[in-house]
Amino acid sequence: MKTEAFQIDGGDAGKRLDVFLAGRFPSSSRALCRDTVLAGNVSVNGTPCRNKGYKLRVGDVVSAEGLLEVEDNRVRPDDTVQPDIVFQDDALIAVNKPAGIPVQPLSCTERGTLMNGLVARFPELARIGDTPLMAGALHRIDIWTSGLVLAARTPESFDAMRRQFAERAVVKTYLALVEGIVEAPGTLRHELAHDPTVPYCRMVDAATLAHPDRRMTAVTEYRPLKQTGNWTLLEVEIRTGVTHQIRCQLALNGTPIAGDALYGKARLDTTRHFLHAAAVRFRHPFTGRDCRIEAPPAPDFNGFFS
């Protein structure tokens, strides 16, 4: 952690406070500097300043206390989170995440996520991988999606599994309850892009945008399992890993996921959308053997058809 004070001269006058701090502390990051400002740990002329966009003036004295470096920004343990572990060995851990908690924290000060709970039980995870706040997690699922999340326990298993994800050799199977009657299996292929008209994460068909920022190929295969009323339970397989892929593509297909207010219509009395990561297939990173790990859906998911 850094604690220092600076007097502003003509070269720094006019800079935003967070930009100035990031420049003075290259081992930190602009995001960490911003969080430090918002936490009230940065003072200008002896008074805490929570305005990250404050424009500095000549003669201002800026002091920062407890500014984190990138190395510090790692997942902290939280033993109040008790992960439902469905598989573990020396290479990997597989967890059945409930709907309603995120996979990872957004900063080291956050608690209550899946990875906080896993780091409390497996401290070695905090140093695994190339994204510190993922703590060895190999992929993510949305907060309100339940089901399997894989984490690597060693750098070697992390690298081996990341190669399989990059080669699209990992097959993820989901259960999705969708609105409408689906009679036959099918394959959905889209180029997806982030919707530039909203300030939050939402994917759209890139073909509908004049200038998409980045096109991402998404391929989703599905087959119907059972029906009730105007709802169909689908088994869905994906090898690509585009953000919100299944949710967006099923909505584009006219069969949005039940309870998904972002891509469909929230017609159910529920806080979650009915998407569950049910299984994953891959080659074991140490033995090379084919593996399949499964995670049963929660009672609220199964209860829809009872």
Active site residue 90: no
Rounded to an integer, what distance in angstroms lies between the CA atom of residue 214 and that of residue 79?
39
- Angle at CA of residue 155, ends 151 and 157, nearest 5°: 60
| Alpha-carbon 86 to chain mean position | 20
| Count of Cβ atoms closer than 10 Å to residue 30 Cβ | 15
Beta bridge partners of 293: 280
Rg (CA), the chain: 23
Least Cα distance to 76 among 129, 32, 135, 2 occurs for 135
User: Are 103 and 141 a contacting pair, CB within 8 Å?
Assistant: yes
How many contiguous H segments (helices) and E segments (strands) does the chain have?
6, 14
Phi and psi dihedrals of 67, rounded to 5?
Answer: -70, 125
Rounded to an integer, what distance in angstroms lies between the CA atom of residue 158 and that of residue 123?
15
> What distances in angstroms separate CA 156 from CA 91, 139, 256, one per listed residue?
8, 16, 39
Question: 173's torsion region: left (phi>0), alpha (psi -120 to 50) or beta?
Answer: beta
Q: Which of 89, 142, 205, 269 is catalytic?
A: 142
Per 3-state DSSP, the chain is made up of helix, strand and coil in percentages (nearest 5) of 20, 30, 45
Q: Fill in the DSSP letter of residue 181.
A: -
> What distances in angstroms separate CA 7 from CA 1, 20, 39, 59, one per listed residue?
20, 12, 21, 6
Catalytic residues: 142
